[in-house]
Amino acid sequence: MHSAEYNGYNQQVEKEKVNYFIPSSLPPEAASKVEEDAQPRYLEDEGFYVGEKPIVLQQNTNILENRLIKHGGRGWFGSDGQVDSLPNPVAEMATKPWVDSLDELDPCVETVYVKAQPRAVEDKYLQIIQNQVSDENELQIDIGSINFIHHSLMSREHVLASNITMMYDEYRMIRHKNYITFYTDKLAALRNAVETLKETLGVDPTALQKSRINDFTAEIRRTTQQLSTAESSERDMMRQIINEWEAIKSLREEQGYNNTSVRLVVKKEEVNYQHDLNNWETEVAHQVDERRAEYDVIILSAHQEEMRKYQVQLQEWKQNRLKMKRIRKRMQRGSKENLLDPSSEVAIADIIKPDKPPPFDDVTVKNEVMNDLIVNRRNPGEARISLELTHTTTITPTPSVPPSEANRRRAMQKTSSNLRVLFNGREVFQTEPKILSSDFKLNFGSIFRVRIAQWPESLKVGVVDTLRLVSKSITSTFYLDIPPTTVHSGNVRLGVSGFTSNKVESHTHEGVGSGTPFTLRTNETNPTSLNTKGQLISSVSWSLDANGRVLAPKGLVEREDPISGANPLKSNDPVIAIGAERLQDPESLTKWVQESRLDPNDPENAALVPFMQGNKDGDVFLTQDYFRLEQLQEEFNFITEEEFSRLNRFRLLRLRHEEIPEFRNISMLPCNEHEVTESAFTAYERRLKEKDVVKMERGVDGDRIEVLKFRQNVKDAVLHRFYTSRHHYSLQDMVHEEQVPDIGTLGASIVKIAEPRRPLKPVRKTRKKAMSQNLTEGSVRILVNVVRGYNIPTRQASHSHQPDRRGEVQVGGAMAASSLRVGQHLDPSSKSYLVAPFVAASFQDATVTTSVAQGPSPSWNEELQLPFCAPNSDYNASNLQKVDDVLFIHLFDRVTEDATPTNTEDTATIITRVQNHWLGSYELPFSTIYQRGKIDGTFKIKVPPVLLGYNLEREIVLYRLKLSLKYQSSGTYLTIFVTLEPVLKPMDPPNLTNPTTLRLKFESQEDVSLLRRCVTYLADCNKRYPNRNVKTTVIDIKGESVLITRFVRPLPPPPELTEATNTNTIITLEKIARFVSLIPFVSDNVTYAGICDLWSTCDQFMQMLCGDEEEHAILLLNYFLHLGKQAYLLLGTAVPEGNTAYVLTVDHNEYIIWNASTGEYHDKSDPHSPLQSVGALINDTNIWFNVQTQDTPMRVRYNVTRMSDWKAFFPITATPLPSIQPESLYYPPTDQSYVANLIDAVERTLKDRIVSWRPRHITRWNRSGNSILRQIVKGLEERVSRKTGVMVNTGHNEQLLSQLGDVRFTGYPMDQPYTGVEAVVSAVRSTEVHKIQDPDVEFSMAVHIHAYPASVLAVWVYVAAIVNRRRHDL
């Protein structure tokens, strides 16, 4: 332990100095940043592209640099002494301008939609059509040899030898061309010509002759100069070669071995000195003469000309002077005005006498000429030298060379090279690898043929060096020209193409390396550095076929024309990308590139670099750095597209992949094409056809079919989009994870401990939902719990028409008697409550029944179980919600009657016959059960308005329920509870806040801000009450989102419905509702289960004559609004539909809820109303969402102006937005003859069917009954629409009884919207009238179709089974 110690400030500073380093912010010395004894090198000054460095404060840079220097981080600095940094990556211009809000879009940045124009793929590929068997396109590539001019494995001697070889080649070329002889001969010829010309000239040559002589003289002079240049350059060349040879010789001596075989032979040709001298002197004389002549012609004649001019001017001046003198004299005498005439004054100074040119000096000229000759030409007596390069030197064998050289030679032997040829960027072949020979030549000598299917765009050659057979490296690549079609294998010649490599290599042995400096000559001070360089001797041509035809693609000729628009290469040209389209001509392009001084190192100009380098031949290789999607698709296709669609197996595979219902569960799809039968598709094809056929049967116009088809297409597209989005999973779909318990759940779990074990009021626990993968066939059941029934029709006692009680007992038997007592007990005043009802539930061909109960208000309390089989055993949510099976709940009366023949004496045996009389039914689509999980409540059974032989006891129900009479609905009710066991997990309804379902948003014509408001409004509503039904936008038939209020617009109903009565009575409303309900109901929901509804406008609806709840509701609402009613569209949930739309009318505190698709209406406080909750109200101006805590119709306050009860979509109710509905509807009159024919057809079909349903019994028709029913049925439509069905009932009975006498009969009139004959038939069948097995039964039937305007048809069928009692009793 130390005691506390105080250090003085200075001491402290001293210590800190030792330990601390504070980097200075002053710039560090430049020398400390670069390599020792090296100067900073500024790449930018040397013309390299360095890019722009990001801006850093100088002070910070200095600190950083000082710190780096301190820590010895020299590696951080570049050669220019700056910290190495990448160029600033931030672009100056934003690629996409920032848009603040979509509302105020700057017109400058508004995007314009331009439809994509697909470029034909054929561009790249040669036309297949032309590509017949004989029409193959073939390139023939002849790879001759490679000559390395420099190679990293070359020794110094090789470098020199390569130099000398190159020089010698050049020399030989000059010699071959033999300029000297050429010019000498030319000179001689010219001189001759001049001589002869001069001779022919007379004393006075013409101007033409003179000029010719002058021309000749000039030509002679030029030629003389050329001769001098040629000769001197040849002499220079020779001198250099000899120098190089000297270097080689000295190098060989120095190293003591030979590496190359080059040897220079200097041949001297002895010449005659005298002869030479003579020639030389003549030459001198000639040249002097010529110069003199030239002097004469040019200088002297020019002088003479000038002299002549001078003389003229002098003469003029003299004359002027004389004139002036005369004028002056006159002036002195007379007027002074014209004293000075400026024009007359000519300055003497302007006229200069030209100097006489110096005389031709023979001696000087001769000296000049001689000097020139001595320097540039062979001097007299000098030997004529010619050089010859031979390869005769023997190379020193490897054993006798020093080890470093031996290493080099070994390395050479290990190195082999080959060529790779790439056509359009894909390798088509490689040559055999060849080992480098000692003269650095690779002889390939191979010819390849490449059959091509694409337009030739590039032919690239890569030189691959292989070291020790393993490490491969591409040293250099270069391009070969695609030959024009005229070049074929018959006429092609080998050409030379050069290549270089910038790969840096250095060796430890004698090899000089590549790109690294070395000293070539011993006495040289500055080292040289050479890159690997070589020449390929090759040729490319089009092949010839056996007939000598060129196998070049057609159209290549046109493609060569750079101006023609059909040139496909043009569109691939990178040059166009920079906006220089016009420069199609490569030469001018190269020129332009060079003139525009683009930086070759800037990556942006990469595409143009080939142009900058300015190829010697003016050829340009286009690099292709564009991207092409799926460019190799064709090659990767296993089979052609055509076959793919033709072969059944592939079709099957594809349909399965598309999850077409018929195919999605096919397994073990056959492997061979022939095993796939056509029958596999029949079901699918039939379905496709049925789409049309079914609608044809409905017998309405072609318009409707068209619209339906269109609608189907829109639905399919929407559904497809939906299913695509279903493939996006959330974490909950994938991973099962316990939720974090928050305070609430923790608290609840603590409270749970203190809870009573068996509470008196247990809380309903939600059942666990079963996952689809755990489900198997038969594990899912539908549970139907039938609790009780209300107001079930009772048998009519009156028709038994018995004076004595015996018959009654006989008819009812023991059970009837007991039920009679029950009835009497209920209401002693009447004994008519005799009924033995039971409920039969049927689903998917399975039917289960409850036991038989007694009386009009039975209590069964029984659970029925029905098996459920998913189609194709697929229990996936997406499949389940397509199930369109319906659960039927039928109510029957079991009538037990005595079938004992009356004439038999055997009283001990009583034979009774059991008959089930249909009383009514209720339909529940499976999709509703599936979506809602459970259905619980009291529902109205659809009972025919007239049940022959039964009484509908309305009053009792009213009495029991103590309700207001006015809008109370009558009818029969069943309390049931339906659920699935186990509960299937329904498909999640699309949630707008979920990003995956945002894909479901559709195109819209609505304002963007409006759509945005819709999203926020919906999100807000869903947050507050997620289960309440609300919509803001719906999809119209075009597949576009439309604001829902646009559907609301007052529309006049057909005048027939309103003309007769006062428009404001409930009867009119009833009539209208009846009309609307008669439009056939076709649900979207069954198939699409809330995914999307397509809403059609009223005119489309009327045209198609089918729609679901929304269309009906909208039409009804629009009619009501036209009548001046205060009405709203009510979105809510109802049974059995689920989410649905109703119409609410408000009239002096009376709130009536209309079900538009059935025509029924209820008071808001009717407990039997099918409407379960109220979600939103809509009219043409606004949408109101129910934000009250209660949503059952009877508890909701309907005053939409109350902000606390209703959340409005538009805060201020503005003028309604323009509607998409038409102004009025057109109701074409219905064709009466068509209706008449239809009545006949339906009746005939029904009679045939009833007969066929009773194969073992005779079916008799009671004609008088038929005619009575026909009378009755015609009046039914009028009466039923007034809701007076009960009154009618008795009337029917009386009518029938009075006509037929003592009969017992059962029968029902049924009405339904006309959708097709089959629908009517199945409705009749469901009544099971035909099942009556009494041998004496007779049937009566009548059909009537009430025609409303616009082909809205109400079908009435009245069937009755009549048993003649008298005959029976006999």
Partner 1 sequence: MSSGINPNPSVFLLMLNGQIESGEFPDFDELYCKFSFHHGQDWVVTSGLEEGISQITRRSRDERELFVWNFPLDVTYKSTNPHGWPQLVVSCYGPDSFGRDVVHGYGSMHIPMVPGKHRVKVAMFVPVSTSKLQQITSWLLGRRPEFVDPKVVAQGEGREVTRVRSQGHVTVTCNIVTRDLKKLGYDLQPSDVTNIPVATMT
Nearest residue (CB) to partner 1, 319 versus 730: 730
Reading the block at residue 841, the tokens are: 């539930």
Binding range to partner 1, per CB under 8 A, among 58-66, 72-80, 702-710, 732-740: 732-740
What is the C-alpha to C-alpha distance for residues 243 and 232, in angstroms, rounded to an integer?
Answer: 16
Neighbour-count burial of 425, counting CB atoms closer than 10 A to its CB (0-12 exposed, 13-18 middle, 19+ buried): exposed
Asked if 773 interacts with partner 1 (CB under 8 A), we say yes
Asked if 675 interacts with partner 1 (CB under 8 A), we say yes
Nearest to 425 by CA among 619, 571, 624, 607: 624
What is the C-alpha to C-alpha distance for residues 1257 and 1331, in angstroms, rounded to an integer?
Answer: 10
Asked if 750 interacts with partner 1 (CB under 8 A), we say no
Asked if 115 interacts with partner 1 (CB under 8 A), we say no
Binding range to partner 1, per CB under 8 A, among 433-441, 735-743, 832-840, 1225-1233: 735-743
Asked if 988 interacts with partner 1 (CB under 8 A), we say no
What is the C-alpha to C-alpha distance for residues 259 and 405, in angstroms, rounded to an integer?
Answer: 9
Q: Are 679 and 662 in contact (CB under 8 A)?
A: no
**Closest distance between partner 1 and the C-beta of residue 138, in Å?**
8
* Contact pick of 64, 370, 395, 428 for partner 1 (by CB under 8 A): 428
What is the C-alpha to C-alpha distance for residues 110 and 403, in angstroms, rounded to an integer?
Answer: 75
**Closest distance between partner 1 and the C-beta of residue 141, in Å?**
10
Q: Beginning with the edge strand found earlier in the chain, give each strand of the sheet holding 495-500 in spatial order.
A: 441-452, 137-150, 533-542, 495-500
Reading the block at residue 881, the tokens are: 């919600």
**Closest distance between partner 1 and the C-beta of residue 559, in Å?**
23
Asked if 753 interacts with partner 1 (CB under 8 A), we say no
Binding range to partner 1, per CB under 8 A, among 377-385, 503-511, 667-675, 1180-1188: 667-675
* Contact pick of 92, 738, 804, 1059 for partner 1 (by CB under 8 A): 738
Binding range to partner 1, per CB under 8 A, among 398-406, 729-737, 1229-1237, 1339-1347: 729-737
* Contact pick of 19, 343, 394, 667 for partner 1 (by CB under 8 A): 667
Nearest to 1074 by CA among 885, 928, 1281: 1281
3 state DSSP class of 996: helix
* Contact pick of 733, 845, 906, 1059 for partner 1 (by CB under 8 A): 733
Nearest to 1169 by CA among 1154, 1188, 1184: 1154
Asked if 1208 interacts with partner 1 (CB under 8 A), we say no
Asked if 873 interacts with partner 1 (CB under 8 A), we say no
Alpha helices per DSSP H over 1025-1097: 1055-1059, 1066-1077, 1085-1088
3 state DSSP class of 296: helix
Nearest to 438 by CA among 469, 415, 464, 467: 415
Question: What part of residues 8-47 is at the interface with partner 1 (CB under 8 A)?
Answer: none
Cis peptide upstream of residue 1136 (ω within 30 degrees of 0): yes
Nearest residue (CB) to partner 1, 669 versus 1241: 669
Binding range to partner 1, per CB under 8 A, among 563-571, 721-729, 958-966, 1045-1053: 721-729
Q: Where are the beta strands (DSSP E) in 243-363?
A: 263-269
**Closest distance between partner 1 and the C-beta of residue 1126, in Å?**
50
Asked if 672 interacts with partner 1 (CB under 8 A), we say yes
Nearest to 938 by CA among 969, 888, 970, 975: 975
Nearest residue (CB) to partner 1, 96 versus 736: 736
Nearest residue (CB) to partner 1, 337 versus 737: 737
Question: What part of residues 439-458 is at the interface with partner 1 (CB under 8 A)?
Answer: 448-451
What is the C-alpha to C-alpha distance for residues 723 and 714, in angstroms, rounded to an integer?
Answer: 14
State how far the alpha carbon of 503 is from the alpha carbons of 152, 154, 500, 530, 1108, in Å: 9, 15, 9, 11, 76
* Contact pick of 771, 914, 1008, 1241 for partner 1 (by CB under 8 A): 771
Question: What part of residues 636-665 is at the interface with partner 1 (CB under 8 A)?
Answer: 653, 656, 665
Nearest to 890 by CA among 1334, 1313, 1325, 1357: 1325
H or E, element range at 386:
strand 384-390
Question: What part of residues 398-427 is at the interface with partner 1 (CB under 8 A)?
Answer: 427
Nearest residue (CB) to partner 1, 347 versus 668: 668
**Closest distance between partner 1 and the C-beta of residue 566, in Å?**
28
Asked if 729 interacts with partner 1 (CB under 8 A), we say yes
Asked if 472 interacts with partner 1 (CB under 8 A), we say no
Asked if 95 interacts with partner 1 (CB under 8 A), we say no
Asked if 429 interacts with partner 1 (CB under 8 A), we say yes
Number of residues in contact with partner 1 under rule CB under 8 A:
34
3 state DSSP class of 1354: strand
What is the C-alpha to C-alpha distance for residues 681 and 647, in angstroms, rounded to an integer?
Answer: 13
**Closest distance between partner 1 and the C-beta of residue 672, in Å?**
6
Nearest residue (CB) to partner 1, 304 versus 665: 665
**Closest distance between partner 1 and the C-beta of residue 671, in Å?**
4
Nearest residue (CB) to partner 1, 563 versus 731: 731
Asked if 877 interacts with partner 1 (CB under 8 A), we say no
Binding range to partner 1, per CB under 8 A, among 712-720, 734-742, 978-986, 1135-1143: 734-742
Asked if 671 interacts with partner 1 (CB under 8 A), we say yes
**Closest distance between partner 1 and the C-beta of residue 427, in Å?**
6
Nearest residue (CB) to partner 1, 351 versus 666: 666
Neighbour-count burial of 734, counting CB atoms closer than 10 A to its CB (0-12 exposed, 13-18 middle, 19+ buried): exposed
Binding range to partner 1, per CB under 8 A, among 555-563, 737-745, 810-818, 1064-1072: 737-745
Nearest residue (CB) to partner 1, 132 versus 526: 132
Nearest residue (CB) to partner 1, 477 versus 1158: 477
Asked if 523 interacts with partner 1 (CB under 8 A), we say no
Asked if 635 interacts with partner 1 (CB under 8 A), we say no
**Closest distance between partner 1 and the C-beta of residue 430, in Å?**
7
Q: Are 384 and 271 in contact (CB under 8 A)?
A: yes
Sorted by sequence, the CB contacts under 8 Å of residue 333 that are 6+ apart come out as: none
**Closest distance between partner 1 and the C-beta of residue 1006, in Å?**
32
Asked if 720 interacts with partner 1 (CB under 8 A), we say no
Q: Are 498 and 482 in contact (CB under 8 A)?
A: no
SS (H, E, C) 73-95: CHHHECCCCCECCCCCCCCCCCC
**Max alpha carbon distance in the chain (Å)?**
190
Other C-beta atoms closer than 10 Å to the C-beta of 1095 total 25
Asked if 670 interacts with partner 1 (CB under 8 A), we say yes
* Contact pick of 493, 616, 727, 966 for partner 1 (by CB under 8 A): 727
Neighbour-count burial of 1080, counting CB atoms closer than 10 A to its CB (0-12 exposed, 13-18 middle, 19+ buried): buried
* Contact pick of 116, 734, 753, 908 for partner 1 (by CB under 8 A): 734
What is the C-alpha to C-alpha distance for residues 311 and 323, in angstroms, rounded to an integer?
Answer: 19
**Closest distance between partner 1 and the C-beta of residue 443, in Å?**
20
Other C-beta atoms closer than 10 Å to the C-beta of 215 total 12
**Closest distance between partner 1 and the C-beta of residue 142, in Å?**
13
Asked if 622 interacts with partner 1 (CB under 8 A), we say no
Nearest residue (CB) to partner 1, 92 versus 733: 733
State how far the alpha carbon of 1359 is from the alpha carbons of 65, 1240, 1329, 1352, in Å: 106, 15, 8, 23
By CB under 8 A, name the binding residues for partner 1. 427-430, 448-451, 653, 656, 665-672, 675, 727-731, 733-738, 740-741, 771, 773
